[in-house]
């Protein structure tokens, strides 16, 4: 496995693979890899001849008061994990390599990026769309793999690929959870023991919401009330948002229809965690 820090090195390797007719899969990450990322690498390994993982804590997707400086980083451990999962190339650029002096061009998404995390984190998806576009241009993947935990990010990236005719297929992979239900996240590492326990309130609310919808609840307000009651019962939790939106448009819905996304962001102490579930109406007979 090779670790490249420059765009030129990556381009050279990709050109060789493409010349040999090999398909390329990309797993974009910010590092501090966990089992969620590993499932993306495994999916890429299954589907593609060559697998690239980018490890880059992207400064432009963090707001001024967010956790860019504290975001966990451990390239050595990440590289070992990548190697163990059959990754061929790790791309670990510096911020200057990605955003040299004079950098002046950004990619934005409109309506899809205005709700949920887009409303709580202004500028976040502009940073994500810009870095993902750059990674697509640098790596030229046939397939790119993203986790369903960031459901809005996945919808935005799919929309961007469609709207800008980018020659890549975006593959969404299921949320990976700890045994006790907590969705895997690099940010879980911020949690104290008491907060780690309190964080289970997210997956408890998700599971209860899922059960209610499966049992026939279709009123978004009633579903949110049920889930909020659970979230608000945890003293260490502060709800940032809990929304029921259309899974394609990311706009709030009153009735839970064919493809609804129920998404939440909750602060546990100062750590902001997200979780969600998607409800697909079973086809009627």
Which residue, 131 or 231, is less far from ligand PAF as judged by CB?
A: 131
Q: How far is the CB of 59 from ligand PAF (least distance, A)?
A: 10
- Active-site residue list: 37
Q: How far is the CB of 273 from ligand PAF (least distance, A)?
A: 14
For 26, the 3-state DSSP assignment is strand
Which residue, 37 or 224, is less far from ligand PAF as judged by CB?
A: 37
Question: Rounded to whole angstroms, what are the CA distances from 266 to 35, 188, 190, 211, 242?
Answer: 21, 12, 14, 20, 8
- The residue from 78, 150, 234, 243 that contacts ligand PAF (CB under 6 A) is 150
Q: Is 39 in the site for ligand PAF (CB under 6 A)?
A: no
Helix (H) or strand (E) holding 223: helix 220-232
Fill in the DSSP letter of residue 199. Answer: T
- The residue from 4, 26, 30, 155 that contacts ligand PAF (CB under 6 A) is 30
* Backbone torsions φ then ψ of 87, nearest 5 degrees: -75, 145
Q: Is 130 in the site for ligand PAF (CB under 6 A)?
A: no
Q: For residue 95, how far is the Cα from the chain centroid?
A: 20
List the x/- string, 46-65, binding to ligand PAF by CB under 6 A: ------------x--x----
Cα-based angle 157, 16, 23 (whole degrees, multiple of 5)? 45
C-alpha–C-alpha distance, residues 283 and 264, integer Å: 26
Q: How far is the CB of 128 from ligand PAF (least distance, A)?
A: 5
C-alpha–C-alpha distance, residues 5 and 90, integer Å: 8
Residues that bind ligand PAF (CB under 6 A): 28-30, 58, 61, 128, 131-132, 150, 153
């Amino acid at each position: 496995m090779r670790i490249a820090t420059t765009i030129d090195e990556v381009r050279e390797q990709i050109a060789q693979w493409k010349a040999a007719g090999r398909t390329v899969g990309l797993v974009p990450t910010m590092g501090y890899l966990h089992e969620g990322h590993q499932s993306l690498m495994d999916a890429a390994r299954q589907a593609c001849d060559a697998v690239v993982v980018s490890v880059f804590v992207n400064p432009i997707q963090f707001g001024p008061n967010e956790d860019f400086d504290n975001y966990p980083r451990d390239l050595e451990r990440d590289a070992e994990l990548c190697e163990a999962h059959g990754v061929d190339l790790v791309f670990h650029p510096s911020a200057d390599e990605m955003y040299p002096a004079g950098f002046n061009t950004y990619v934005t998404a409109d309506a899809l990026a205005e709700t949920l995390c887009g409303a709580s984190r202004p500028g976040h998806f502009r940073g994500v769309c810009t870095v993902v576009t750059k990674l697509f241009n640098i790596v030229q993947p046939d397939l790119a793999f993203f986790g369903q935990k960031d459901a809005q990010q996945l919808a935005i990236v799919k929309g961007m690929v469609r709207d800008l005719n980018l020659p890549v297929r975006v593959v969404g992979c299921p949320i990976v959870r700890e045994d006790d239900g907590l969705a895997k996240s690099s940010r879980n590492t911020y949690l104290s023991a008491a907060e780690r326990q309190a964080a289970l309130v997210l997956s408890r609310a998700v599971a209860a919401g899922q059960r209610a919808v499966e049992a026939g609840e279709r009123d978004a307000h009633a579903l949110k009330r049920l889930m909020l009651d659970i979230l608000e019962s945890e003293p260490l939790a502060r709800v940032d948002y809990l929304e029921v939106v259309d899974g394609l448009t990311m706009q709030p819905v009153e009735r839970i229809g064919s493809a609804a996304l129920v998404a939440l962001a909750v602060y546990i102490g100062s750590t902001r965690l997200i979780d969600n579930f998607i409800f697909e109406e079973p086809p009627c007979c």
